[in-house]
Amino acid sequence: MASRLLLQNLSKRHLLRSTFAFRSASTLVLAEHEGGLIKAQSLSAVVAANSLSQDNPVSLLLAGSGSSLHQAAEKAATCHPSISQVLVADSEKFAYPLAEPWAKLIQLVQLKGDYSHVIATSDSFGKNILPRAAALLDVSPVTDVVDINGPRQFIRPIYAGNALCTVRYTGANPCMLTVRSTSFPVPPISVDSKSGGASISEVDLSTLDEDSVGKSRFMKLSSQDTGRPDLGSAKIVVTGGRALKSAENFKMIEKLAEKLGAAVGATRAAVDAGFVPNDLQVGQTGKIVAPELYMAFGVSGAIQHLAGMKDSKIIVAVNKDSDAPIFQVADYGLVGDLFEVIPELLEKLPEKK
């Protein structure tokens, strides 16, 4: 009898705690900025936050230093109606997105704000920072979320995207998530200019540990100013595989991308062979993309690569092997030699205006 009463009391407490957590839901979104603008992937995290509950105030956390940070904060305050507050951490410690200072910052903001959820995107930024912050807060993160069924129930891919797993989070607050930006597209938004946007607040960093910089140091940033769209957010992606045989031949992919106004992607095999840098890799261990048009040349369709692009709206594949797995997911397929197909496309396609 005593055991039954104890179980009933525990059940009531759990129900009350769950109800309270649901009613008091509030979300902290970790946002990236560059050149005074919020990156599009961060807005996808805001869209994901809207799926948690109806009454869910969203706070956007920006960190960095200098005028570009405050320009990004002003843009963030009016970029999405769901954002109720923009938190700004201005310090040289956050000049570069290193995991150690960012994790300490998240811990500091969480202790003050007591958020029910913390969300970042499943890119190099979120994957680098969120797990370390989760360890400091002693919670277990839920990663690579592609759908949200409630404040504590999520869907994420497993087995390289061949199966979907429903996960129920039963731990303490905050529930920390990384979400795939391709699964939470940002709809066209018209922000009411009369509303004035979200409030902007400075984060008090006086209590931040002096040793929060940690053992890692920023060395340098290597980037190619090609003028092409960003691979993670491009509407058209042209990808090449190992069948291109050399870095010189891969330039055909780059020329085709320039004509189409597309981003360039590559398979892991092409990256490992040294044809292109690894920041162009598409797949399970690279970038996850879902463009309007995905063109694959000389891509066999390994399961790890398909996991990073199979959500594309239209997939076009060119391969000499008619049995290549890429044709199983392609909307349009051409069995042919890419060294004949690409030059013909370059000849017939008009120059980009």
Give 3-state DSSP helix, strand, coil % of the chain, rounded to 5: 35, 25, 40
| Strand 147-150 relative to strand 153-158, pairing | antiparallel
Query: Does the annotation flag 300 for ligand binding?
Result: yes
298 is in an annotated binding site: yes
In angstroms, the CA 316 to CA 336 distance is 13
Here the contacts of 249-257 (C-beta below 8 Å, separation 24 or greater) are: 249/339, 250/275, 250/276, 252/342, 252/343, 252/346, 253/297, 253/342, 254/226, 255/346, 256/295, 256/342, 256/345, 256/346, 256/349, 257/228
Q: Is 299 annotated as a binding residue?
A: yes
Of the candidates 313, 317, 306, the one whose C-alpha atom is nearest the C-alpha of residue 341 is 317
Question: Is 42 one of the annotated binding-site residues?
Answer: no
Is 224 among the annotated ligand-binding positions? no
The response to whether 283 counts as a known ligand-binding position is yes
Please tell me what DSSP assigns to residue 219.
Answer: -
Distance CA 246, CA 275 (A): 6
282 in a labelled binding site: yes
Q: Is 156 marked as a binding-site residue?
A: no
Where does the chain have alpha helices with state H? 2-23, 40-50, 67-79, 99-113, 124-137, 247-260, 268-272, 303-306, 326-329, 338-348
268 carries a ligand binding annotation = yes
Q: Is 261 annotated as a binding residue?
A: no
User: Which residues make up each annotated binding site?
Assistant: 242, 267-268, 281-285, 298-305, 319
User: Which residues make up each annotated binding site for FAD?
Assistant: 242, 267-268, 281-285, 298-305, 319
